[in-house]
Amino acid sequence: MSSLTEYSWPAAILLALSLLCLSTLFTFYRSNNTQKPHSGLNIPELGGFSLLAAWPFFAKRDDFLWSNFKKTGAEMFRFRALQHHVVAMHGTEARKAFFTEKGLNLPEGYALLFGTSPTVRDLQDVDTAEYTAQFLLKQFTDLLSKERLANGKFCAVFPSLLKDTDRLMAGWSSEGTMDPFKELNDIVFQLTVRLGSCRELAEDLDAVARMSQLLDNLEKAATPAALLLPWLPTAARKAKQKNTRELFALIYSFVETRRAASVRSSDTIDFLLGNGFSTENVVEFILGLIHAGYINTGMNVGWNLLYIGMHPEWKAKVSAEFRALLATHTDAASTDPIHERLASIPLGAWETELPVVDAGMRETLRMTMGLLALRRNLGGDITMAGRTILAGDFLAYPLGDVHHNPDIYPEPYKWDPHRYDAGREEDKQAPLAFLGWGGGRHMCAGMRIAKLEIKLILALFVLSFEFQVVDGAGALPKSLPRVDFNDFQRPRPVQGNPCYIKFRRLKVD
């Protein structure tokens, strides 16, 4: 593997500076020759130094997009990032084409413009030749298929999910205050490792904690400089490789343990090995799955609990719904712990008998999902919303365009799960108006898993604790902070207005 360790530090700094000069000259030359729109291309193009023009895209994405939509007055604008072109777009016609056009590729878009995902392709000495994005997606689909989730194999892991949740909640004191974005995120991480790997790894608590730390390190290493100048041997670049390598080695050893086992289990690693995967490809798959849970589900469960906690009417309804689920499917006279009773409820009931919780989750997703969806045009030149998108161009569409659009969702920053009630159905008033789980050609492959994780955690928490939302001073806040949509890695709250959950464990009757 080529790395900085082959150079002495002064030589590396010199090399980096010369590369930076060369790159600046190169981008200056290119940008001064490409400020005019491509002939026949009626999309405004941002001029200036390409490096400087693209910097805010990697530093403050949402602000960059909306200020340029406003400045250009157009539904699309084009700018240069690295040696590529990106077309940012919004509006109904653009959205329809973005999510349905065949030549637009999802993994290629995220690979260049997202950049935080740990991938073994960053480790040049690891062979993942048989891996393709399509192949990976097929495994996701098979692994999380309705049949597999509903049959006895998945049910074998189900009680462990609730046991994990109970163990982590038992680690809290009987009353106190917690940061939902930390504590609930840790639970989601544990559940995703349990679902996405094997029992040996899920029960090695040091290994799970180390994985979580390595993903945190990778997130910090995704600086604008590292994304814009990926070849520059910066500290962030080095950190990305070092952390990815350790993550890879850690998971690799557990895959090899399972490969050597004489009896196959129903765990995910064994499922993949049974499908003929190489160890490298199993690791690649697990990294993708755990990272997907890490960036989305962990934050989402925290937002759900905060929104429920801020709305007394919904808090009472959610609590009643979980109690009804428990009463319908388990023995009310049982003295078994709640997590064991919850574990005996069939999967189908979790999916179909919680309409109040489902509406709250949908609304929370609408409020918080402002992800920038990304694609690359791998087909020929195409026409989208009356404009030509060239082959090879990248495309970016901010989900906030539809989720926070007052013409579709009146008072878009108000949390109101009644929006989806019969008669209102605001999410059906425009094409692809709800994209919280994706839409068109790319629906979320992990949706059922993510929904289940969120419901299990909410159920055990709501049934075991009495709670309220508090601000930094311990008082009921007037409102919740908004999501920082410039934070392109995870939907976290904007800084400076923290909210916590104050809880007290309920006595068992």
Backbone CA torsion sign across 254, 259, 265, 268: positive
| 92 versus 297: smaller Cβ distance to ligand HEM | 297
| 338 versus 369: smaller Cβ distance to ligand HEM | 369
| 234 versus 364: smaller Cβ distance to ligand HEM | 364
What distance, in Å, lies between the first and last C-alpha atoms of the chain?
A: 61
Rounded to a whole number of angstroms, the minimum distance from the CB of residue 119 to ligand HEM is 13
| 233 versus 298: smaller Cβ distance to ligand HEM | 298
CA 28 to chain centre: 35
Please give the angle made by the CA atoms of 307, 64 and 380, to the nearest 5 degrees.
105
CA–CA gap between residue 111 and residue 119 (Å, rounded): 9
| 293 versus 400: smaller Cβ distance to ligand HEM | 293
| 143 versus 462: smaller Cβ distance to ligand HEM | 143
Adjacent-strand bridge partners of 466: 504
Q: Please report how the helices 180-196 and 447-464 are oriented relative to each other, as an axis angle in degrees rounded to 10.
A: 130
What type of residue sits at position 207?
Answer: A
> Radius of gyration of the chain from Cα atoms?
24
DSSP 203: T
CA–CA gap between residue 429 and residue 397 (Å, rounded): 20
Query: Which token pair is 354?
Result: 């919680």
Q: Does the annotation flag 499 for ligand binding?
A: no
| 214 versus 338: smaller Cβ distance to ligand HEM | 214
CA–CA gap between residue 282 and residue 347 (Å, rounded): 26
What type of residue sits at position 485?
Answer: F
Adjacent-strand bridge partners of 389: 382
Rounded to a whole number of angstroms, the minimum distance from the CB of residue 360 to ligand HEM is 13
| 128 versus 344: smaller Cβ distance to ligand HEM | 128
Query: Which token pair is 69?
Result: 């939509």
Rounded to a whole number of angstroms, the minimum distance from the CB of residue 289 to ligand HEM is 5
| 98 versus 500: smaller Cβ distance to ligand HEM | 98
Q: Please report how the helices 312-329 and 447-464 are oriented relative to each other, as an axis angle in degrees rounded to 10.
A: 100
Q: What is the DSSP string of 325-378?
A: HHHHHS-TT--S-HHHHHHTS-HHHHHHS-HHHHHHHHHHHHHH---EEEEEE-
CA–CA gap between residue 45 and residue 397 (Å, rounded): 16
Residues 6+ apart with CB under 8 A from 108: 133, 375, 376, 378
Task: Report whether 435 contacts 403 (CB < 8 A).
Answer: yes
Backbone CA torsion sign across 229, 235, 236, 242: positive
Residues 6+ apart with CB under 8 A from 460: 162, 165, 166, 169, 338, 339, 342
- Residue closest to ligand HEM, measured at CB: 446
CA–CA gap between residue 213 and residue 243 (Å, rounded): 9
What type of residue sits at position 303?
Answer: W
Rounded to a whole number of angstroms, the minimum distance from the CB of residue 107 to ligand HEM is 7
Rounded to a whole number of angstroms, the minimum distance from the CB of residue 18 to ligand HEM is 37
| 27 versus 368: smaller Cβ distance to ligand HEM | 368
What type of residue sits at position 330?
Answer: T
| 51 versus 193: smaller Cβ distance to ligand HEM | 193
- Contact residues toward ligand HEM (CB under 6 A) are 106, 137, 140, 289, 292-293, 296-297, 300, 365, 369, 371, 373, 435-438, 442, 444-446, 449-450
Nearest to 235 by CA among 52, 501, 3: 3
Task: Report whether 486 contacts 398 (CB < 8 A).
Answer: no
Three-state DSSP string of 159-199 = HHHHHHHHHHHHCCCCEEEECHHHHHHHHHHHHHHHHHCCH
Bind-site residues: 444
Task: Please state the residue numbers annotated as binding site for heme.
Answer: 444
